[in-house]
Every structure is written in structure tokens, then in C-alpha cells.
Amino acid sequence: MTPSTSALSKQRYPWVTPVALASSLSAIVIFGGSTFVAELMTPGFDPVRQTISELAAGDAPTRIFVTIAFVLTGACHMLTASFTPGIGVPGRVVLFAAGICTELVAAFPLPTVASTSTAHRFAAMLGFVLLAIWPALGMRVDKSLPFLFRPWGAIASTLFIAVFCFTFLGVWASASQPAVGVWERLAADIEGVWPAVVVLILWFAQRRRRASTPAE
């Protein structure tokens, strides 16, 4: 007997690929690891009051190191978006755009630690918003997909991320808030981890799906 049409469909159209698995996990290691190391390399840096962007400012000792980390993290997001067909196309486009924003954050650094930059601020804010909303835009009306990808699960994901994202943006907009660094790291870490959460859930669901597909 030959494989059924549904079995062939499951084999030919994966929800997620090894490239996306590697890129989504790498984004966590690159961004989180580089930030931690850069903070240790910067005497007097206060992660409670200072932002990650200050580690890549023009006069920061870790400027090149953190800038490279931003570039690699953005590339990881773009690869994850490109190689995860299980995510709805609008969500993949937005996640890819978030990766571009991360590249722009690297391209338009703060001139100095104590200064600001309109281009940098815009790219960072847009990137944070896009990384918060892509799960809802990536929803699929497909009962074979895990709950996280169906409408209610996708919307709940975005609401969860958005709480941290918009809280940080509100704190960032207020010069009187002393814990901007804490809120930025919470928002950035959750947004950075979420693509990997999505990919891992799809990866294991895909393995179960293939295991249950008859070979003939």
C-alpha cells in the first residue's frame, strides 16, 4: 500500500524545522548571555536603573560586543519566523519585522551612555511592540495544532507578554522611574524566550503527530 494523502501531507509540510529550533534557542543564549557578560565587564553598571542599550552606547566599553549580540539576536528572530510554517503567516511576518527592528537597534546605538537617540528609541519601542503582538497574529484555526496556536491560546499569549511590554514602555517613558532596567529585562527576556517556547511546543507536537502517522 502507498501512504495516504493525509500521511504524505504531514510528512511534506512540517510545522517547524530544525533551523527554527536552533535559532530560537540561540536567541535566548546570545541575548541573555551577552547582556549578563557585558554587565560584568562594565564597572559601576547598575542593571536596576540602566538599560541594556547603554551597554551598546558609543562610549560603552562593551559597545562592539553587545552590538554584535543585537545583530545575531535579530537574525535569529528572522530565521525562526522564516522556518516555522506552523505559525500563521501574519505572525511570521511580524516576528521577522521584529528581528529587523533589533538590527536597527544595533544600527542606531545611543551616542553615549548618558544620551538618547530618536532613531534608536523608535526602533527599540517598535521591536518591543512587535515581539508582544506576533503570537496573536500567528494564530491558526486548526484543531490539530496545540492550544497555544489556536485563537484563544494565541490571544492569551499576547496578553501575557503585553503586560510586561507595555509596563516597561510606560516606565521607560517616565524619567522618574528608578527601576527601568528591571522592567526592561523582564520584558526583553519574556519576549526573547517566547519564540523558543512556541517552537519547542510545535517541535514536540510534530514528533507526536509523525509517530501517530501510519507508514503505509
Flag whether 10 is in a domain. Answer: no
Looking at residue 174, its pLDDT comes to 78
- Asked if residues 57 and 63 have their Cβ atoms less than 8 Å apart, the reply is yes
Flag whether 83 is in a domain. Answer: yes
Q: What angle do CA 28, 32, 36 make, to 5 degrees?
A: 165
Looking at residue 79, its pLDDT comes to 98
Flag whether 213 is in a domain. Answer: no
* Alpha helices for the chain (secondary structure H): 5-12, 18-41, 63-82, 89-107, 118-137, 151-173, 180-211
- Closest among 38, 39, 73 to 188, alpha carbons compared: 73
Q: pTM surpassing 0.85? A: yes
Looking at residue 214, its pLDDT comes to 57
184-213: per-residue pLDDT in tens?
999 999 999 999 999 999 999 998 888 876
152-192: per-residue pLDDT in tens?
999 999 999 999 999 999 988 876 678 899 999 999 999 99
Flag whether 126 is in a domain. Answer: yes
Q: How many domains, in total, are found in the chain?
A: 1
Flag whether 11 is in a domain. Answer: no
Flag whether 7 is in a domain. Answer: no
Looking at residue 209, its pLDDT comes to 84
Length of the chain: 216
Flag whether 29 is in a domain. Answer: yes
Q: Which domain holds residue 91?
A: 16-134+142-207
Looking at residue 213, its pLDDT comes to 66
Q: To the nearest whole number, what is the mean pLDDT of the chain? A: 90
Q: Tell me the three state secondary structure of residue 204.
A: helix
- Asked if residues 128 and 165 have their Cβ atoms less than 8 Å apart, the reply is yes
Looking at residue 154, its pLDDT comes to 95
Identify the segments of the chain with pLDDT beneath 50: 1-11, 216
Flag whether 40 is in a domain. Answer: yes
